[in-house]
Amino acid sequence: MKIVNEMRLTFLSKSSNESFARMTASAFVAQCDPTIDKLADIKTAVSEAVTNCIVHAYRGTTGKITMVIKLMADYRVVISIRDRGCGIPDVHQAMEPCYTSAPSEERSGMGFTVMETFMDKVTVRSKEGKGTSVTMVKRLIPTAAGGAK
């Protein structure tokens, strides 16, 4: 499928970058003219994925997070968020609702559940000691005016 537009952003795993990442994603996707609801879904999913990199992947250290967003000709938005942190030993377990590896820190264990609820497709690839990549797809429905909702 043809890519209409693409962006790539690399930033440090600092919690102050959570809002920077979701606002950047929102500003880039806005050119597809999505509904406010879909934009909020995307912002939330990005926030969850980036928070996971900060809280889990780079626990106790600072590393780089790369976010790539592709706008596809068929009105899909493909967002990939990648780190080179510790990796997830058991991806299936990590994606279970309410599972958290850090219960003492008030992590709700709902991050992946939120991503899966608000996005159409979520794929997680991880290798211990190498890092994790989360790819999320959201379908924006085209309108008669030519934009995507």
Active site residues: 48, 52, 107
| Binding mask of the shown chain, residues 55 to 94, with x at each position contacting another protein by CB under 8 A | x---------------------------------------
By beta-carbon proximity to another protein, the closer residue of 37 and 128 is: 37
Q: Which residues contact 83 (CB under 8 A, 6 or more apart)?
A: 13, 53, 57, 58, 63, 64, 65, 66, 131, 132, 133
Q: Which of 9, 91, 110, 137 binds another protein (CB under 8 A)?
A: 110
With contact defined as beta carbons under 8 Å apart, do 131 and 83 qualify? yes
CB of 137 to another protein, least distance (A): 19
In sequence order, which residues have a C-beta less than 8 Å from that of residue 104 and are 6 or more positions away? Answer: none
Give the residue among 80, 77, 62 at the shortest CA–CA distance from 133: 80
> CB 104 → another protein: shortest distance, Å?
10
d(CA 69, CA 29): 8
Question: Contact region for another protein (CB under 8 A) — 1-9, 36-44, 120-128, 132-140?
Answer: 36-44
> Site for another protein (CB under 8 A): how many residues?
23
